[in-house]
Amino acid sequence: AQSVTQLGSHVSVSEGALVLLRCNYSSSVPPYLFWYVQYPNQGLQLLLKYTSAATLVKGINGFEAEFKKSETSFHLTKPSAHMSDAAEYFCAVSEGGTASKLTFGTGTRLQVTL
Amino acid sequence: EPEVTQTPSHQVTQMGQEVILRCVPISNHLYFYWYRQILGQKVEFLVSFYNNEISEKSEIFDDQFSVERPDGSNFTLKIRSTKLEDSAMYFCASSESSGGYEQYFGPGTRLTVT
CA atoms within 13 A on the CB side of B75: 28
User: Per-residue pLDDT for A97 more than 80?
Assistant: no
Instruction: Give pLDDT, residue A99.
Output: 63
Rounded CA-CA distance B77/B85 in Å is: 16
- What mean pLDDT is predicted for residues A71-85? 97
User: Per-residue pLDDT for B48 more than 80?
Assistant: yes
The tens digit of pLDDT for each residue in A8-57 reads 999 999 999 999 999 999 988 888 999 999 998 788 999 999 987 789 99
**Percentage of chain B surpassing pLDDT 90?**
84
The residue of chain B nearest to residue A108, with distances taken between CA atoms, is B42
Query: Which stretches of A1-114 are assigned E, i.e. beta strand?
Result: 3-5, 10-14, 19-21, 24-26, 32-38, 44-50, 56-58, 64-68, 73-78, 87-94, 103-104, 108-113
Q: Which residue has the higher pLDDT, B34 or A2?
A: B34
Distance from CA of A93 to the nearest CA of B (A): 10
* pLDDT-based confidence at residue B62 (cuts at 50, 70, 90): very high
A80-89, A93-102, A105-114: which range is least confident on average? A93-102
CB contact under 8 A, B105 and A32: no
CB contact, 8 Å: B42 with chain A? yes
CB contact under 8 A, B45 and A45: no
**Percentage of chain A surpassing pLDDT 90?**
82
